[in-house]
Structure 1
Amino acid sequence: MTGLGLLAGILTGTAIGVVGWLLTPHRRDVPPWLVMVAGVVGAQAGAIATQLLGLGTDGLGVVEAIAQAAVATLGVVVVAGTAGRVRSAAPVPAAVPAQDSRTRRWRARQQGNAGVGGDAA
């Protein structure tokens, strides 16, 4: 990858990131820098993929530009679709009920302690 390809990847990824952020329905929840970074990383991944497949050129070729745009768009879609949503993994547990002295004595016996009120188990 040459300097021109690197610069093209940064510009392509940033442009696709900005457009993707503007088209995101819940864009207030997604920071703009996040989709821009996803676009740049995706564009660089597209450029690297074309080089590994032997489709790249020394400069900026059409195949490399299309691959950069496609992978950058995929990265932006994934990030914009998953970032910013609040998801709870499990329901919030209920508060622990107050324990009376019988419950404390029972738990102490289960743990092998002598108990709270001087009871010997």
Structure 2
Amino acid sequence: MEITGILSALIVGLVIGVLGKLVMPGRQKTPIWLTILVGIVAAFVGTAIARGLGVANTEGIDWIEVLIQIALAAAGIGIVAGTRKHKSIL
């Protein structure tokens, strides 16, 4: 993977993760690195689900795919926030 692919995955992960946090009610105390990680995973899994359902489109922005990714990120943030008990330095 090239550096541009890594940077774009980080940016997409950040955006999807932050949107997932915004959808969740209340305040989640998850660090930014964990939000990015959940966003990256949600983006990959959401794309796979959208393609499996046949709703993924490669031209322009696929809003159904984005909604699936945000929903998965919100669920992931909820799970992570619920299982984290201690503050970490990282």
Q: Please state which band the TM-score falls in when normalised by the shorter chain.
A: 0.5 to 0.7
In 2: Cα distance, 1:53 partner to 1:44 partner: 14
Q: 1:8 to 1:63 in 2, by over 3 A?
A: farther
2:57 counterpart residue number: 57
Counterpart residue type for residue 82 of structure 2: G
State percent identity of aligned pairs. Answer: 32
Q: Structure 2: which 5+ residue stretches go unaligned?
A: 1-7
Conserved? CA contact 1:38–1:72, under 8 Å: yes
Counterpart residue type for residue 23 of structure 1: R
2:5 counterpart residue number: none
Conserved? CA contact 1:46–1:72, under 8 Å: no
Q: CA RMSD in A?
A: 2.9
2:78 matched to 1:77? yes
Q: 1:75 to 1:17 in 2, by over 3 A?
A: same
Q: Secondary structure at the match of 1:23?
A: coil
Q: Which has the higher contact order (CA 8 A, sep 6+)?
A: 2
| Greater percentage in helix | 2
2:40 counterpart residue number: 40
2:27 matched to 1:23? yes
In 2: Cα distance, 1:41 partner to 1:71 partner: 9
TM-fit CA distance, 1:15: 2.6
TM-fit CA distance, 1:80: 1.6
**CA shift digits 1:27-76 (9 cap, x unpaired):** 2xx43211220122112211110001111111331211111111111111
